[in-house]
Amino acid sequence: MAGAWVFGYGSLVNLRSLSKALAREVAASELRPAWLHGFRRAWIASELVIAAGHEGGVLARFFDLEAAPAARVNGAIVQVTDAELAALTTREKSYDRLDVSAAISGAPSGATIVTFVGRVARPGAITLRAYVALVEEGFAALGAAHLADFRADLTLPPPVVDGPYRFVDEAQNARTTWAHGAT
């Protein structure tokens, strides 16, 4: 398969979510655990969603990366085609692609690795428990040590909203909704 590798550090670590995003079944063997050095995971991205108690729409928090020279973020890499990378770019509409090839450990030698980093830090008003559960499920599938590493610095900024959600943007829903319990 030609193309780049994508480093996921949130919902793209989850096989169901990644399969929906790429519009193909992704096998567990395609995901490789990896670490991005010089960054940390943070709740500084947000998207407009419809969730319980917020039927008119609300900005929900999602993971993003922020520079932190001594830190590292665990995640996974997957090789994608150019068309799949374009589809991910649509899904991650508030994020820019960033070449992180030089900052990744756990990748094939000489591989081009990209990730998605938020364009603007935009605080959200709510944290979605379903999103966190989806990400935890992905890390658990990578193994107990990866889940523990993910949870080590995890805090859930209040308020935390239970139940399904969906994006207001239908293009994002086409690549994500089913994984988050919304219809």
Q: 183 in a domain, yes or no?
A: no
Integer Cα distance of 145 and 140 in angstroms? 8
Q: 109 in a domain, yes or no?
A: yes
Q: 124 in a domain, yes or no?
A: yes
Q: 112 in a domain, yes or no?
A: yes
User: Looking at residue 119, what is its pLDDT?
Assistant: 87
Assess whether pLDDT exceeds 50 at residue 24: yes
Integer Cα distance of 102 and 142 in angstroms? 23
User: Looking at residue 152, what is its pLDDT?
Assistant: 96
Q: 180 in a domain, yes or no?
A: no
User: Looking at residue 181, what is its pLDDT?
Assistant: 53
Number of residues written out for the chain: 183
pLDDT digits (tens, 9 = 90+) for 42-71: 999 999 999 989 989 999 999 999 999 999
pLDDT digits (tens, 9 = 90+) for 96-123: 999 999 999 999 999 999 999 998 888 8
Instruction: Give this prediction's pTM.
Output: 0.93
User: Looking at residue 3, what is its pLDDT?
Assistant: 79
Among 4, 35, 22, 5, residue whose Cα is nearest residue 142: 35
Total domains present in the chain? 1
DSSP code of residue 157 = P
Assess whether pLDDT exceeds 90 at residue 178: no
Q: 182 in a domain, yes or no?
A: no
Tell me the CATH number at 41.
Answer: 3.10.490.10
Assess whether pLDDT exceeds 60 at residue 16: yes
Contact predicate 48/167, CB 8 Å: yes
User: Looking at residue 164, what is its pLDDT?
Assistant: 93
Q: 177 in a domain, yes or no?
A: no
Sort residue 120 into left (φ over 0), alpha (ψ -120 to 50) or beta. Answer: beta
If DSSP codes are grouped into helix, strand and coil, which group holds residue 22? helix
**Domain range holding 35?**
5-169
Q: 105 in a domain, yes or no?
A: yes
pLDDT digits (tens, 9 = 90+) for 85-96: 998 998 898 899
Burial of 151 (0-12, 13-18, 19+ CB in 10 A): exposed
